[in-house]
Amino acid sequence: MRQPGMHALIMSFGTRGDIQPYAALAGALARAGHDVTLAVPDAFADLVPHDGPGTVTHHPAGSGMLRLLREIMPELSGPRDALRTLGIMTSAMRELNTECWAAARAARPDVVVYHPKTLAGPHIAEALGVPGVLSLPLPYYTPTRAHPMPFFGGRSFGGRGNRASYALNRMSGIMYGGMINDFRRQIGLGRIGRLADPLKNLDGSPVHTLYPYSRHILPVPADYPESAHVTGYWFLDHEGVDGGGWEPPAQLADFLATGPAPVYVGFGSMGFGKGADQRRDAVLTALKANGLRGIVATGWGGITPGESGSDDVLVIEGAPHDWLFPRVAAVVHHGGAGSTAAGLRAGRPTLVVPFLGDQPFWGARVHAIGAGPEPLAANRLARGLAGRLGDLTGTTSYSHRAAEVGAAIRHEDGLGAGVRVMEQIAGVTATDTSSGR
């Protein structure tokens, strides 16, 4: 009979890339004998793993907010437009908080893991009297002298300046302080200040932070505290590293089989639709100028859908990166944490075309480790992509270095490390401690 382990509540919100690592962690915990409630939007219910001996229960949270995002994003012209939509998201964010609380009351967990996009996370842990664990796949919260917070790209401000830059991690408290305190009142907690430190509990103890990225891409800083855990990536595979359980459409399978390995180009959920036609033209022109075959993924509107007009270019909506990336020669993407991880794990040279947020940071890291050229800003796509694409595919050192990095990442056990940290935080172990497939 299975010995009882922990019951973990895991909450995340965003696009598929924001959910997949946490679905992977849920599966790893279940394989180690623990029970998990995964609070994510309905649209990602298909990601919930069912491979015990522990259980994984899906509790819908954030479905309304996700629908709103999917309706809005293709109509945006850029980040300034996105900021102007914050007002209409307020009610959906409050709904997300309420749904996360409902998941917590149903689960009665021993530990709460929360992505910072689920604002309710730390307050739910406090109300339940259980450990709260902050988690996101980029080094956004823990101050260090080694590098500034990722939203400053690849720049350095010196040791003291780098540490000071992390004061910006209190922005969510400043922006959403009223909403947070409304929620705290609803669940029986007192008010907190808008500048409350997200890395400290009310009693002054440190908040544990799980960072599911690879130390082969970004070394662990020497000044990180014991409460900051860099585990390695959490991959949710389609039945194996090469995605062997996913069946591609015939058109995609035929395209891959009838010529040299193509270059993948896709910008994920960067759906600023008013520039989608220009991005499509730039991508098709650059591929043709370099005589390359290409697979172009349109995503949520980042690139306009439709036939390419060339036998050398296949336009698709998307495909699982763990299946597709090992089958291409190189990858070009927006530099999201998940896309960057998938491309490098596949050992493919990478060009990052960053749009916003932490994407310039990951682009700079790819170049710094020698796995691809300098990132190309999205607003320079039309005039710069052809040359940068030639550099990406013509520089053999990028391919060699990407292959080395890929092998190192595949050797990591990020999920196993994540499970062990969770067990230590919750003070439990399980009879079956295996976390891999």
- Could you tell me the CATH number of the domain that includes residue 44? 3.40.50.2000
Assess contact for 63 and 87: CB atoms under 8 A: no
- Report phi then psi at 21, rounded to 5: -60, -35
Query: How many DSSP H helices and E strands does the chain contain?
Result: 15, 12
| Residue 281 belongs to a domain | yes
Q: Are residues 82 and 118 in the same domain?
A: yes
Summarize pLDDT for 389-414 with one digit per residue, the tens.
999 999 999 999 999 999 999 999 99
Distance set, CA 271 to CA 177, 274, 325, 331, 363 (Å): 28, 9, 21, 19, 19
| Residue 92 belongs to a domain | yes
Distance set, CA 164 to CA 64, 197, 321, 325 (Å): 36, 14, 36, 38
pLDDT of residue 435: 45
Nearest CA to 224 out of 237, 233, 215 is that of 215
Q: Are residues 82 and 192 in the same domain?
A: yes
Percent of the chain predicted with pLDDT > 70:
88
Q: Are residues 191 and 311 in the same domain?
A: no
Assess contact for 50 and 56: CB atoms under 8 A: yes
What's the domain count of the chain?
A: 2
| Signed CA dihedral, 245, 249, 252, 258: sign only | positive
Kindly report the average pLDDT of the chain as a whole number.
Answer: 89
| Residue 434 belongs to a domain | no
Q: Are residues 218 and 276 in the same domain?
A: no
Cα–Cα distance, 77 to 157 (Å, whole number)? 31
pLDDT of residue 239: 45
Cα–Cα distance, 221 to 145 (Å, whole number)? 8
Q: Are residues 373 and 228 in the same domain?
A: no
| Residue 187 belongs to a domain | yes
Q: Are residues 282 and 394 in the same domain?
A: yes
Q: Are residues 210 and 268 in the same domain?
A: no
Tokens, residue 98: 């309420």
pLDDT of residue 88: 66
Percent of the chain predicted with pLDDT > 90:
71
| Residue 59 belongs to a domain | yes
Q: Are residues 173 and 313 in the same domain?
A: no
| Residue 436 belongs to a domain | no
Q: Are residues 405 and 416 in the same domain?
A: no
Q: Are residues 318 and 419 in the same domain?
A: no
Assess contact for 432 and 34: CB atoms under 8 A: no
Q: How many CB atoms lie within 10 A of CB 24?
A: 22
**Mean pLDDT on 255-281:** 83
| Residue 33 belongs to a domain | yes
| Residue 433 belongs to a domain | no
Q: Are residues 261 and 217 in the same domain?
A: no
Cα–Cα distance, 287 to 281 (Å, whole number)? 10
Confidence check: pLDDT of 242 > 50? no
Domain limits for position 126: 7-233+412-426
Q: Are residues 156 and 223 in the same domain?
A: yes
